[in-house]
Structure 1
Amino acid sequence: TGQLQNLTFHTNITCSRDNVLKTVVFPVLYSCLFLLGLSLNGVAVCVFFRIPSKSHFIIYLKNIVVADVIMTFTFPFKVLSDSNMASTGLRIFVCRVSSVLFYLTMYISILFFGLISIDRCRKTLKPFRGTNAARLARRKVLSGAIWTFLLVLCLPNVILTRKTPTSSYFKCSDLKTAAGLYWHEVVNHVCQVIFWGNLVTVIVCYTLITKELYRSYSRTKAQRKINANVFLVLAVFFVCFVPFHFARVPYTMSQTRGVLFDCKLKLFFFQLKESTLFLSSLNSLLDPLIYFFLCKSFRTTLFKTLQLPPGSCSRLTGRGSDTDTGTKYQTPYGSLSHNT
């Protein structure tokens, strides 16, 4: 019996989630991310509040700003929970509400990244097609539908996470009812469909953009250097979202079908999920780069707010640029964004 107790104790210590990575490293990283993200997204909110929604691009960016602000405010709760500084009640709140909001805003961003890619592609292939009030109204309705759909999808995760923890050492999955575990797995599958669908969309759109830009440069004999700003959306999407979605499927299975995984394997998938989840969190910090480099309206309004001359960052955005991508010359096919 003593040997069995020692073995159980050793196993619990070995497989405990409360290691340095979870309780120290990630809380410090998320604390820094919160401070930086709050500052940058606070500026973004102030700037976008002054920009009228007169293009599809601006509408999509405003939705991403809102999602990033909400995501940023979930970080302090995660810091307190992971560092074991939170009370049992606060940890339950993290499982029921804060974590749900985090994932909600992540998939809001993923969907609008897909829409932005489609918009950039459309502006490249049909640069002279304008917009009107009816199209803008439809984009606003679409934005509202996306928020409503994901809120309805995520709400059962809040309602069905209602079990009372039997001890102070519990995981979020321990609070879910049987229906809650099942719905959690359903939501995971739906979110995977959302991600992979938008991944394909982003890849296809930027492949078409690249081909059209190359044709344009070849025809005009203009400078052949493609400004890297054009591919910021693609880069942020791949850095932030792709690794997590490769790690999420086995992690979710280890939660909902625990009998198939031993303790060490569960711990491995947990650490992999947390590492890639931090990359997803970086989205809230990297999105302001997209606003600055791809949106001329954002830059112009920011410079006016800070009382800086418009050419202050010409080396970064492209000298003599009159498009949101910073393309260094004007061509119908090179214009990837709005001059609004």
Structure 2
Amino acid sequence: METNSSSPPFPGNHSTCSRDNVVKTMVFPVLYSFLFLVGLVLNGVAVWVFFRIPSKSHFIIYLKNIVVADVIMTFTFPFKVLSDSNMASTGLRIFVCRVSSVLFYVTMYISILFFGLISIDRCIKTLRPFRGTNAARLVRRKILSGAIWTFLLVLCLPNVILTRKTPSSPYFKCGDLKTEAGLYWHQVVNHVCQIIFWCNLVTVIISYTLITKELYRSYSRSTGGTISRATSGASTRKHHQAKRKMNANVFLVLAVFFVCFVPFHFARVPYTMSQTQGVLFDCKLKLFFFQLKESTLFLSSLNSVLDPLIYFFLCKSFRTTLFKTLQLAPGTCSRLTGRGSEMDTVSTI
């Protein structure tokens, strides 16, 4: 979470180091407005579909939690648009600092945690494809999901409570509203969030390394079998083509994680240094790191519209329910997803 999530204009300051340039006040507001509209539609459909799907697997439980996080994140975008474009009143900018930006980061790290859990789940599903589930395991996953939400909300609640100072002028940063205890707790939350990200990054890398090895072994075995069974070559080739497509779909989670979350956390390190050790950075360098942070933060926001790809390509129940609701044949998107029976080996039921 950032103390500078809201940066007002500085009267009379036309320096190239001012944060209020065309990128911040026009480009990003337009991009976030588009993201809000697309996210509202896609996540609205996701909520509508998942409301009809019972929580009968770990994967579906995790996806439902990500849907909720994405919906909340999407509703924070209009406030960021108004704040960044300098169209927000003082009261609204205070709300952004106290509530909206806090919810944005809470939902981001909730998504990161559930991406880690999904990676573990996909790894187990690949290594032990016939391992089933039961009611007790589902209850434990629901309790774990509730614990994640409770932990992060309780962790970040002081950021809301301790951001209560009255701004001394219309031109303030979010950090100006924090009490001394609030600034200290803000640093604590930053460190905890960094730990959450790096631990989940390691989890994702290990999980998909194991998945890759297992898929390669499986592909090698099936390829060897194909050579010895020339008589069924045509049908076997079709099977392998569908399976390779299925295998590629598994890596959507990895792709979304790396596109959305990794750049921001690497850019955040020099940005934080430029804010806490200002004497080492001149104004233009600070501006560069700020724009880098905002650009990668937008990539993190893309998570809210990329997640529906995961729901569609990896969750068979989602596709089936969507097709039934829209009265489409299950094979409508077979060219994109591969045949359903083959997808089930790594997608949820």
* Same structural fold, with TM-score higher than 0.5 when normalized by the shorter chain: yes
Select the residue among 180, 198, 210 that pairs with 1:178.
180
Aligned partners of 1:24 and 1:197: how far apart in 2? 35
Moved more, 221-230 or 165-174: 221-230
Aligned partners of 1:165 and 1:263: how far apart in 2? 24
Select the residue among 153, 156, 175 that pairs with 1:154.
156
Structure 1 residues 95 and 9: alpha-carbon distance in aligned structure 2, compared to 1, 3 A threshold:
closer
Q: Which runs of 5+ in 2 are unaligned?
A: 1-9, 227-236
Structure 1 residue 266, shift from structure 2 partner: 2.5
Structure 1 residue 255, shift from structure 2 partner: 3.5
Aligned partners of 1:15 and 1:108: how far apart in 2? 34
- 1:338 matched to 2:340: no
Aligned partners of 2:192 and 2:40: how far apart in 1? 30
| 2:322 corresponds to | 302
Aligned partners of 2:209 and 2:58: how far apart in 1? 21
Structure 1 residues 262 and 181: alpha-carbon distance in aligned structure 2, compared to 1, 3 A threshold:
farther
Matches within 5 A, 1:172-211: 172-211=174-213
Contact 2:316 2:340 in 1 (8 A): no
Structure 1 residue 9, shift from structure 2 partner: 8.9
Moved more, 224-233 or 266-275: 224-233
Q: Which runs of 5+ in 1 are unaligned?
A: 1-7, 328-334
Select the residue among 64, 73, 77 that pairs with 2:79.
77
Aligned partners of 1:132 and 1:205: how far apart in 2? 23
- 3-state secondary structure, aligned to 1:84: coil
Aligned partners of 1:267 and 1:162: how far apart in 2? 27
Aligned partners of 1:60 and 1:137: how far apart in 2? 12
Contact 1:121 1:336 in 2 (8 A): no
Moved more, 172-181 or 63-72: 172-181
Contact 2:116 2:204 in 1 (8 A): yes
- 3-state secondary structure, aligned to 1:50: coil
- 3-state secondary structure, aligned to 1:86: coil
Aligned partners of 2:48 and 2:29: how far apart in 1? 28
- 1:322 matched to 2:341: yes
Contact 1:185 1:252 in 2 (8 A): no
| 1:293 corresponds to | 313
Aligned partners of 2:278 and 2:170: how far apart in 1? 20
| 1:263 corresponds to | 283
Given residue 205 of structure 2, which amino acid in structure 1 is its aligned partner?
I
Contact 1:181 1:256 in 2 (8 A): no
- 3-state secondary structure, aligned to 1:312: helix
Deviations 1:26-83 (A, max 9, x none): 0000000000000000000000000000000000000000000000000000000000
Matches within 5 A, 1:107-186: 107-186=109-188
Aligned partners of 1:309 and 1:127: how far apart in 2? 27
| 2:64 corresponds to | 62
- 3-state secondary structure, aligned to 2:275: helix
| 1:14 corresponds to | 16
Percent identity, please.
85
Aligned residues: 322
Select the residue among 255, 268, 288 that pairs with 1:235.
255
Q: What do you get for the CA RMSD once the two structures are aligned?
A: 1.8
Structure 1 residue 10, shift from structure 2 partner: 8.4
Aligned partners of 2:281 and 2:185: how far apart in 1? 20
Matches within 5 A, 1:267-282: 267-282=287-302
- 3-state secondary structure, aligned to 2:331: coil
Structure 1 residues 9 and 263: alpha-carbon distance in aligned structure 2, compared to 1, 3 A threshold:
farther
Aligned partners of 2:296 and 2:261: how far apart in 1? 8
